[in-house]
Amino acid sequence: MAQKKAEPKKQSAAKETKAPAKKKTASAAKKTTAKKTAAAVEKTAPVVEEAAPAVEKTAPVVEEVASVVEEAVPAVEETAAAVEKVAAVVEETAAVEEESAPVVEETPAPAEQAPSTPRRSVAFIGSECHPFVKTGGLGDVMYALPRELVKLNCDVRVILPRYACIPQKYQEKMVYRGEFYMDLGETGRNFYVGIMEYISDGVVYDFIDNQEFFSSGKPYTNLVDDIPKYCFFSKAALAALNYMNWIPDVIHCHDWQAGLVPVYLRTLFQDSPVGRARSIITIHNLRFQGIYNIPTIKYWSGLPDYVFNMGALKQNWEDANMFKGGLAYADRITTVSGTYAQEIQTAEYGEALEDHLRYHSGKLRGIVNGIDYDMWNPATDPALAENYWLGNVLDHKMANKLALQAELGLVQDESKFVVGLISRLTNQKGLDLVNAIIPHIMDGNTQVVVLGTGDKQYEDTFRYYEGAYSGMFSACIQYDESRAHRIYAGADALLVPSRFEPCGLTQLNAMHYGTLPIVRETGGLKDTVEPYNEFTGDGNGFTFDRYDAGLLLDAINRAKTVYFTNRYHWDEVVQRDMAKDVSWENSAKQYKNLYLELTQW
């Protein structure tokens, strides 16, 4: 009962602070937040004092927690009840949409609306997003999918940490949206939560500001820091939605960093306004799960004891797994390809969660990623030496190969077969296979270009090969977006021999640039690259199945044979790949359908 009384109080508090907040300029906001957070880092005690009024604000939340703890039941069991609840919530939600109208108006109306599909509001919560911060495919998806959903009549808000490493040009464009203080776990402290906003192409980006957690030069550091960071982020993201009084129909969480969001939603936040939202969690990579000992995660998250059971967060009896909890409590689970959705239910790919995923397989499905055609378009790509498109690729792609060879100090020769590899240099990406076969493919007619950073052993090996095969092997041990674009355009083929690959974007980028992928048949690679058929000439690239260096070598040799002896067929595949639809359009429709399925009214 206590929380029922508390709700209106909280909302009105949020509304009171909201109005003046909008008027503040970016620079003023910067000044305020910088000052406050700096103080928070340096002097803990005064901050607590400073936070005194805020403590009052957050008090109702504390009351809510106590009652919710008793009431909440794990999502697993409550599905049926939840479905009923949704119907009841329908009316309420409509009312809330009216209430939050001013906020909705802030979002520029999407240029093209598909009136046939009903409007839905979605909050994306995740740890990275191009162009602000990106370490891999998750950053691409967090950028492209919301933009596509806007075209499908969705209101999308993307909630991200405001890392210090976000480039200054974006920091400057952020507008102060408000601030509040939030308790966190058993710390006994109230933490500053600033909200900085940036709107682009109809998508609203809300950055959660707190320098104590987000001041590192990179998003991920080590688990000791990352566990508290993402406990704070997950809770702050939901609190921010309540604070802004923007209650989405669906909360779409991404990877372990947002793993606690569905758990918070059904426990501490169940009876707050945001508790009405349904939740989806997407697995972009199951390898990383946010596992730490139970006392630490309990301390930082403040989640009730009963979520630390074997059906939810608990794992191996003494550890808590943030991703596992999110999978248990989310209303739906998606992963980024149909094949990976099957694979993760097996011991080979399940990363010790295969039983848990099989148990929840009824709410699991695969939706393959796409690529953003504005970002990846060889006809307009400013990074390229020469632009080209489907109609003239056979005449103009070559100029990019020659330019790439010149840029990287390789022998400039049109007739060489150039193989690219653009990847995080980690064990997942099949680099031990690549290392094993390099000497076998360096035949004088083949050049290899590697772009990536990661494990030192791989970086060193590729540097060694660069020395050993001077003029024929280039090891670019760096993260360089525009060079990546030039490699996609200038190479003839791209290697993706991954041990596992949830979806993989590099093979999609490559195909779109007329560069043939050579991939292992796993996860999204299997779903997106149809093997070349030497009899019919059909297919998109070259594939091998078992994780075996000999099979990778065989696939590369088959590619070379077609390239050197059957250029007509090769060129046909180049054009077929460029014509293939690897855009987000189709996949975004599937996500939209999923949102509708979850929120039927």
Contact 354, 344 (CB under 8 A): yes
Binding to ligand ADP by residue 448, rule CB under 6 A? no
Residue of 72, 327, 333, 451 interacting with ligand ADP (CB under 6 A): 451
Q: Evaluate the CA torsion angle 99, 103, 108, 112 in order and state its sign.
A: negative
Copy the structure tokens of residue 419: 């193989």
| Shorter beta-carbon distance to ligand ADP: residue 141 or 330 | 141
Binding to ligand ADP by residue 484, rule CB under 6 A? yes
Q: How far is the CB of 224 from ligand ADP (least distance, A)?
A: 23
| Shorter beta-carbon distance to ligand ADP: residue 185 or 452 | 452
Copy the structure tokens of residue 262: 């569905």
Q: How far is the CB of 475 from ligand ADP (least distance, A)?
A: 11
For residue 110, the 8-state DSSP code is P
Q: How far is the CB of 504 from ligand ADP (least distance, A)?
A: 4
CA dihedral 173, 175, 181, 186 (to 10 degrees): -30
Binding to ligand ADP by residue 395, rule CB under 6 A? no
Binding to ligand ADP by residue 312, rule CB under 6 A? no
For residue 175, the 8-state DSSP code is E
Binding to ligand ADP by residue 504, rule CB under 6 A? yes
**Total residues contacting ligand ADP (rule CB under 6 A)?**
18
For residue 189, the 8-state DSSP code is -
Residue of 3, 93, 123, 140 interacting with ligand ADP (CB under 6 A): 140
Segment near ligand ADP (CB under 6 A); pick from 44-52, 136-144, 152-160, 256-264: 136-144
Does residue 404 sit in helix, strand or coil? helix
Binding to ligand ADP by residue 548, rule CB under 6 A? no
Integer angstrom CA distances of residue 11 from 52, 439, 468, 582: 19, 66, 66, 43
Residue of 430, 452, 517, 531 interacting with ligand ADP (CB under 6 A): 452
User: Residue 197: which of 25, 32, 413 has the closest Cα?
Assistant: 25
Binding to ligand ADP by residue 18, rule CB under 6 A? no
Neighbours of 515 (CB within 10 A): 29
Residue with the CB atom nearest ligand ADP in the bound state? 137
Write the interaction track for ligand ADP spanning residues 44-83; mark x where CB under 6 A is met and - where it is not.
----------------------------------------
Binding to ligand ADP by residue 423, rule CB under 6 A? yes
Segment near ligand ADP (CB under 6 A); pick from 215-223, 274-282, 318-326, 477-485: 477-485
Whether the link from the prior residue into 131 is cis, omega within 30° of 0, is yes
| Shorter beta-carbon distance to ligand ADP: residue 33 or 423 | 423
Segment near ligand ADP (CB under 6 A); pick from 15-23, 232-240, 446-454, 585-593: 446-454
Q: How far is the CB of 242 from ligand ADP (least distance, A)?
A: 31
Binding to ligand ADP by residue 528, rule CB under 6 A? no
Segment near ligand ADP (CB under 6 A); pick from 322-330, 445-453, 550-558, 591-599: 445-453
Binding to ligand ADP by residue 237, rule CB under 6 A? no
Residue of 263, 404, 422, 475 interacting with ligand ADP (CB under 6 A): 422
Does residue 367 sit in helix, strand or coil? coil
Contact 419, 491 (CB under 8 A): yes
| Shorter beta-carbon distance to ligand ADP: residue 264 or 458 | 458
The tokens 């609840």 sit on which residue? 85
CA dihedral 400, 405, 411, 413 (to 10 degrees): -10
The tokens 């998750």 sit on which residue? 138
Name every residue whose Cβ is closer than 8 Å to that of residue 23 and which is 6 or more positions away in sequence.
Answer: none
Binding to ligand ADP by residue 424, rule CB under 6 A? yes
| Shorter beta-carbon distance to ligand ADP: residue 156 or 422 | 422
Integer angstrom CA distances of residue 313 from 316, 322, 323, 538: 10, 6, 8, 47
Q: How far is the CB of 121 from ligand ADP (least distance, A)?
A: 27
Contact 182, 239 (CB under 8 A): yes
Using CA atoms, how far apart are residues 156 and 146, in angstroms rounded to an integer?
6
Using CA atoms, how far apart are residues 188 and 179, in angstroms rounded to an integer?
19
Using CA atoms, how far apart are residues 21 and 29, in angstroms rounded to an integer?
9
Using CA atoms, how far apart are residues 401 and 389, in angstroms rounded to an integer?
15
Binding to ligand ADP by residue 325, rule CB under 6 A? no
Q: How far is the CB of 482 from ligand ADP (least distance, A)?
A: 8
Residues near ligand ADP, by CB under 6 A: 136-137, 140, 422-424, 451-453, 479-481, 484, 503-506, 509
